[in-house]
């Protein structure tokens, strides 16, 4: 089976949650030819064509270059599936039309792009493209990572009789396991992006004693760099210079070591279609406080975190204090709960779900 997969970014060129998860999953499909066509972020630092394994290749081109469209055409001609990790990535629309003309199976993973906060950027042009898609494309499979994303796809795409939506979460396998003493620190891990709502913790920090708020991540895009400058101004405004620390991008052992020494991880996002950082945190038995706008209500069901409204400051202070005041014995007991939830996202389980999706078409 040959699957041509289009993605704006892909690991190891870019290490965001969905990119890492996709890379890990593709490595599981040893008998499935996977071609990834990505714009990437560091094209100048490597060759345009990377062979990762006998069944896994990546092509990196600029989104508006002739080569990316030529490669899509050439590789898709004998593909069984055309799959996208993004709805609005410009080359995808070429692939959508190609799939219609040549009657190819099409799978689209919007990866949170249909959520209100995400779609508000360039709203008019995005809604125009959705309308155009609804007019032209009549048969398509959508992939969602959560129940909420299933709902939002149904809201945006009108050909409800001719589409199928499959809910498959991201997969995760941890390579690191640390057993270290917890420090009085809370951790944010992810892109420094306005959608992450990182600053919502600043008012809360004023009411917390002897605690560090570690922010691990990088700002790449222009709006992310602007948001980073905003965060620095807010830190000065609340006199939090001694409580907030920027760690920059962390990866590998360093990242998981920081997770393992933290009292909890916070995910205050305005919107998340999934949130791989939750699984990374659970792999180190570190509980998570996730916002109501994320699909992580299951944290409370498995007793390894809270699903909170980050606008309710007093509630949030109490929840953070709950973890700050817990001793090492408590965190040792958390391991069982965290592992139980983490097991549901193993690569083997998620791989089987994707195989079922491919075989059903």
Q: Is residue 179 assigned to a domain?
A: no
* Share above pLDDT 90 across residues of the chain, in percent, rounded to a whole number: 70
The closest of 38, 136, 35 to 90, measured between CA atoms, is 38
Quick one: 138 and 43 in the same domain?
Answer: yes
Same domain (yes/no): 117, 142 = yes
pLDDT 10s digits, 267-322: 999 989 899 999 999 999 999 999 999 999 999 999 999 999 999 999 999 999 99
Tokens 């070591």 sit on residue: 257
Angle, in degrees to the nearest 10, between helices 90-101 and 66-76: 30
Same domain, 334 and 215: yes
pLDDT at 107: 96
In a domain, 176, yes or no: no
List, in sequence order, every residue forming a beta bridge with 58; answer none if it has no partner: 36, 50
Domain annotation covers residue 72: yes
The backbone torsions φ and ψ at residue 193, rounded to the nearest 5 degrees and listed phi first, read -125, 140
User: What's the mean pLDDT in 132-153?
Assistant: 92
Q: Is residue 178 part of a domain?
A: no
Whether 212 and 329 map to the same domain: the answer is yes
Give the mean model confidence (pLDDT) for residues 44-57: 79
Verify that 355 and 276 share a domain, yes or no: no
User: For 208-231, what is the mean pLDDT?
Assistant: 94
Domain enclosing residue 279, as ranges:
185-345
Asked if residue 334 has pLDDT above 80, the reply is yes
* 109 and 232 inside one domain: no
| 75 lies in some domain | yes
Would you say residue 10 lies in a domain? yes
130 and 152 co-located in one domain: yes
Residue 261 belongs to some domain of the structure: yes
Pairing of strands 305-308, 2-7: unpaired
Specify whether 200 is located in the same domain as 305: yes
Three-state SS for 24-82 is HHHHHCCCCEEEEEECCCCHHHCCCEEEEECCEEEEECCCCCHHHHHHHHHHHCCCCEE
User: How many domains would you assign to the chain?
Assistant: 2
The reply to whether 334 and 213 lie within a common domain is: yes
Statement: residue 359 has pLDDT above 90: no
Instruction: Give the mean pLDDT of 212-218.
Output: 96
pLDDT value at residue 180: 74
Q: What is the pLDDT of residue 11?
A: 78
pLDDT score, position 246: 98
Q: Are residues 193 and 327 in the same domain?
A: yes
* Rounded average pLDDT over 330-342: 89
Q: Are residues 57 and 204 in the same domain?
A: no
Q: Could you tell me if residue 228 is inside a domain?
A: yes
CATH number at 333 reads: 3.40.50.2000
> 350 and 304, same structural domain?
no
- Provide the CA 200 distance to its chain's centre, in angstroms: 20
- Token pair listed for 28: 């599981």
Reported pTM:
0.88
Residue 15: pLDDT over 90: no
Give 70-119 pLDDT, tens digit per residue. 999 999 999 999 999 999 999 999 999 999 999 999 999 999 999 998 89
């Amino acid at each position: 089976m040959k699957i041509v997969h289009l993605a704006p970014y892909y690991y190891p060129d870019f290490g965001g949650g969905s990119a890492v998860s996709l890379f890990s999953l593709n490595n599981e499909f040893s008998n499935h030819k996977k071609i990834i066509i990505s714009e990437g972020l560091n094209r100048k630092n490597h060759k345009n064509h990377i062979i990762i394994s006998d069944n896994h290749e990546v092509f990196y081109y600029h989104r508006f270059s002739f080569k990316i469209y030529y490669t899509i055409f050439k590789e898709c001609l004998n593909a069984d599936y055309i799959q996208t990790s993004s709805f609005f990535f410009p080359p995808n629309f070429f692939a959508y039309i190609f799939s219609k003309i040549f009657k190819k199976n099409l799978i689209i993973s919007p990866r949170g792009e249909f959520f209100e906060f995400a779609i508000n950027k360039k709203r008019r042009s995005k809604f125009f493209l959705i309308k155009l898609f609804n007019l032209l494309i009549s048969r398509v499979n959508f992939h969602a990572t959560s129940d909420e994303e299933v709902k939002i796809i149904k809201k945006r795409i009108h050909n409800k009789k001719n589409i199928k939506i499959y809910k498959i979460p991201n997969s995760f396998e941890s390579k690191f396991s640390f057993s270290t003493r917890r420090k009085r620190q809370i951790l944010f891990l992810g892109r420094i992006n306005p959608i992450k709502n990182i600053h919502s913790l600043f008012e809360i920090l004023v009411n917390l004693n002897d605690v560090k708020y570690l922010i691990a991540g990088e700002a790449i895009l222009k709006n992310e760099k602007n948001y980073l400058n905003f965060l620095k101004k807010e830190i000065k405004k609340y006199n939090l210079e001694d409580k907030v620390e920027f760690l920059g991008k962390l990866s590998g052992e360093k990242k998981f070591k920081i997770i393992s020494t933290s009292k909890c991880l916070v995910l205050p996002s305005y919107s998340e279609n999934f949130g791989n950082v939750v699984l990374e945190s659970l792999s180190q038995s570190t509980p998570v406080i996730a916002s109501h706008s994320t699909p992580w209500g299951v944290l409370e069901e498995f007793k390894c975190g809270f699903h909170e409204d980050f606008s309710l400051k007093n509630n949030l202070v109490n929840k953070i204090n709950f973890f700050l005041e817990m001793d090492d014995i408590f965190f040792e007991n958390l391991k069982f709960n965290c592992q139980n939830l983490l097991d549901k996202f193993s690569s083997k389980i998620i791989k089987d779900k994707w195989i079922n999706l491919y075989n059903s078409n």
